[in-house]
Structure 1
Amino acid sequence: MSNSKPIRRIAVIGTGVIGASWAAQYLAKGLEVIATDIAPDAEATLQKFVKSAWPALERLGLSPGASLTNLKFTADLAEAVVGVDLVQENGPERLDFKQKLYKQLDELLPPDVIIASSSSGIKMSDIQSGVTSHPERCVIGHPFNPPHLIPLVEVVGGVKTSEAIVQRAIAFYKSIGKKAVRLNKEMPGHVANRLQAALAREVYYLVAEDVVSAADVDDALSWGPGLRWGIMGNMMLNHLAGGTGGIEQALRGLGGPMAAWWKTLGSPEMTPEFQHKLIDRVQAEVGSRTIDELEAERDELLIGLLELRNKRLETATSQKVAAE
Structure 2
Amino acid sequence: MTRVAPDEVRTVTCIGAGVIGGGWVAYFLARGYDVVAWDPAEDAEPRLRHLVELAWPALTELGLAAGASTDRLTVEHDLAAACARADFVQESAPEDLELKRSLLADIDAATPPGVVISSSTSGYGMSEMQVRCAGADRTVVGHPFNPPYLIPLVEVVGGEATSPDAVAWASAFFTHVGKSVITMDREVPGFIANRLQEALWREALHMVANGEATVEQIDRSITDGPGLRWPIHGPLLTFHLAGGQGGMAHMLDHFGPSLLSPWTRLDSPELTPQLRDAVVDGCLEEADGRSIDDLVAERDRGVIAVLRALGKV
Q: TM-score range by the shorter chain?
A: over 0.9
Percentage of pairs with the same residue: 43
Q: Which moved more, 1:205-214 or 1:12-21?
A: 205-214
Which of 15, 18, 22 is the aligned partner of 2:17? Answer: 15
Q: Show the counterpart of 1:80.
A: 82
Q: Show the counterpart of 2:291.
A: 290
Q: Quick check: 1:149–1:302 contact (8 Å CA) kept in 2?
A: yes
Between 1 and 2, higher relative CO (CA 8 Å, sep ≥ 6) is seen in 2
Q: Does the residue aligned with 1:34 lie in a helix, a strand or coil?
A: strand
Instruction: Map Cα deviations across residues 248-279 of structure 1 (whole Å, 9 max, x no partner).
Output: 1221222222x123x33123222333323333
Q: Show the counterpart of 1:322.
A: none
Which of 116, 123, 126 is the aligned partner of 1:114? Answer: 116
Q: Distance in 2 between matches of 1:91 and 1:31?
A: 21
Q: Quick check: 1:3–1:165 contact (8 Å CA) kept in 2?
A: no
Q: Distance in 1 between matches of 2:68 and 2:290?
A: 34
CA RMSD of aligned residues (A): 1.7
Matched, 1:125 2:127: yes
Q: Does the residue aligned with 2:263 lie in a helix, a strand or coil?
A: coil
Q: Show the counterpart of 1:48.
A: 50
Q: Show the counterpart of 2:232.
A: 231
Q: Distance in 1 between matches of 2:289 and 2:91?
A: 35
Instruction: Map Cα deviations across residues 85-123 of structure 1 (whole Å, 9 max, x no partner).
Output: 111001111111111111112222222111100011111
Q: Distance in 1 between matches of 2:34 and 2:278?
A: 46
Q: Distance in 2 between matches of 1:17 and 1:107?
A: 26
Q: Does the residue aligned with 1:210 lie in a helix, a strand or coil?
A: coil
Q: Quick check: 1:138–1:157 contact (8 Å CA) kept in 2?
A: yes
Q: Show the counterpart of 2:171.
A: 170
Q: Does the residue aligned with 1:278 lie in a helix, a strand or coil?
A: helix
Q: Show the counterpart of 1:202.
A: 203
- Write the mapping of 1:1-324 to structure 2, written as runs, cut at 5 A: 1=1, 5=5, 6-131=8-133, 133-257=134-258, 259-261=259-261, 263-266=262-265, 267=267, 268-309=269-310, 311=311
How much does 1:79 deviate?
0.7
The one-letter code matched in structure 2 to 1:164 is D
Evaluate the alpha carbon distance shift between residue 301 and residue 97 of structure 1 in structure 2; reply closer, same or farther with a 3 A threshold.
same
Instruction: Map Cα deviations across residues 16-37 of structure 1 (whole Å, 9 max, x no partner).
Output: 1111110110011111101111
Evaluate the alpha carbon distance shift between residue 136 and residue 191 of structure 1 in structure 2; reply closer, same or farther with a 3 A threshold.
same
How much does 1:4 deviate?
5.3
Q: Show the counterpart of 1:319.
A: none
The one-letter code matched in structure 2 to 1:47 is R
Q: Quick check: 1:207–1:278 contact (8 Å CA) kept in 2?
A: yes
Q: Quick check: 2:54–2:293 contact (8 Å CA) kept in 1?
A: no
Q: Distance in 2 between matches of 1:51 and 1:282?
A: 25
Q: Distance in 2 between matches of 1:3 and 1:16?
A: 27
The one-letter code matched in structure 1 to 2:217 is D
Evaluate the alpha carbon distance shift between residue 245 and residue 201 of structure 1 in structure 2; reply closer, same or farther with a 3 A threshold.
same
Q: Quick check: 1:10–1:31 contact (8 Å CA) kept in 2?
A: yes
How much does 1:188 deviate?
2.7
Q: Distance in 2 between matches of 1:246 and 1:126?
A: 40
Q: Show the counterpart of 1:320.
A: none
Extract unaligned runs of 5+ from structure 1.
315-324
Q: Distance in 2 between matches of 1:39 and 1:4?
A: 31
Extract unaligned runs of 5+ from structure 2.
none
Q: Distance in 1 between matches of 2:275 and 2:45?
A: 38
Evaluate the alpha carbon distance shift between residue 54 and residue 284 of structure 1 in structure 2; reply closer, same or farther with a 3 A threshold.
closer
Q: Distance in 2 between matches of 1:256 and 1:8?
A: 55
Q: Distance in 1 between matches of 2:307 and 2:17?
A: 25
Q: Distance in 2 between matches of 1:47 and 1:287?
A: 27
